[in-house]
Amino acid sequence: MNLKINFLGTAAATSYPLVFCKCKVCEQARKLGGCNFRKRSSLLINKDLLIDLGPDIMSASFMYNISIADVRYCLQTHSHSDHFDASHLSTRLPEYAVENIPKLKLYASNATLNKMSEMLKAEGYITDILNTVEQERLNLDVHPIKALQSFEAGKYQISAFSANHDKSIGSLLYAITEDNYTIFYGSDTDIIPEETWSGFHDKKLQFDVVVLDHTYGPNINGREHLNANGFIKQIQRMRDENLFKEHTRIFATHISHEGNPIHSDLVDYGKKNGYEIAYDGLII
Ligand SMILES: [Zn+2]
Ligand SMILES: [Zn+2]
Ligand SMILES: [Zn+2]
């Protein structure tokens, strides 16, 4: 059986619409609602693998009636606050009277784990997530990983790749395979680094699903993220380099209001350019 992919959130750090913005798209999005309301990006695979313990995962779980309690593996792309909310992890501590929680295996780069420790420290209970005593208190196994490392997590084969995004915290992208079905999760990143392209080939990867950063709309230039033009170039290169299978589906995520129109218009734009637009609550 193919793995089940749940989009818990598809917005950039700012959410969509923006809290205080009265630009045309934010006003339209507010009026239309539905797919136009985007929470901060996070993805659940089956019931047990979460990519990014983001700030909106609980709101998403209430909205879509999905439990996060059975998550056994968490792949953390990086520690930016739109991808990691320390208060969610803190609730695993005995002080919060948690019961019957399965052990959580957490994977992230060393630099991101250090940053996560700082963020947890600010919550008041944990000082060092790499300390085994602290891990015991959180019922957590922490696995520091590096770009180009491949590892197994339960039934999943996973490879980590470097992102073109905040290098100071070792941001990572992931390919996850279950039963010959592979998803590439590419957020957050600007133009994909050469080392990552080589890694795709060295590991003989072909993707069934690609989920890629689409922070900025057409012709909007930002930093550390892809815009629509860059997104299209990346998927073209993936196609040229034979990284797709026959029915590969390509999704834009991490969408900001900067240059990205309302959902239905963005869907039309994507269709013209060979990709789909993810939305909160979408299940593949
Ligand atoms: Zn982000
Ligand atoms: Zn706006
Ligand atoms: Zn980021």
Q: Thinking of the domain 5-277, which architecture would CATH place it in?
A: 4-Layer Sandwich (3.60)
The band of 124, judged by pLDDT with boundaries at 50, 70 and 90, is: confident
Give the Å distance between the CA of 253 and the centre of ligand 2: 17
- Least confident span in 32-46, 74-88, 120-134: 120-134
In terms of C-beta distances under 8 Å and separation of at least 24 residues, what long-range contacts does 260-264 make, across chains too?
A: 260/16, 260/25, 260/214, 260/216, 260/217, 260/228, 261/25, 261/217, 262/25, 262/28, 262/29, 262/32, 262/36, 263/29, 263/32, 263/34, 263/35, 263/36, 264/35
Q: For the whole model, what pTM was predicted?
A: 0.97
Give the Å distance between the CA of 165 and the centre of ligand 3: 7
Note the pLDDT tens digit of each residue in 36-63.
999 999 999 999 999 999 999 999 999 9
Q: Quick check: 1 pLDDT over 70? A: no
Mean pLDDT of 13-17: 97
Give the Å distance between the CA of 260 and the centre of ligand 2: 10
Q: Closest-lying ligand to the alpha carbon of 12? A: 1
Note the pLDDT tens digit of each residue in 219-236.
999 999 999 999 999 999
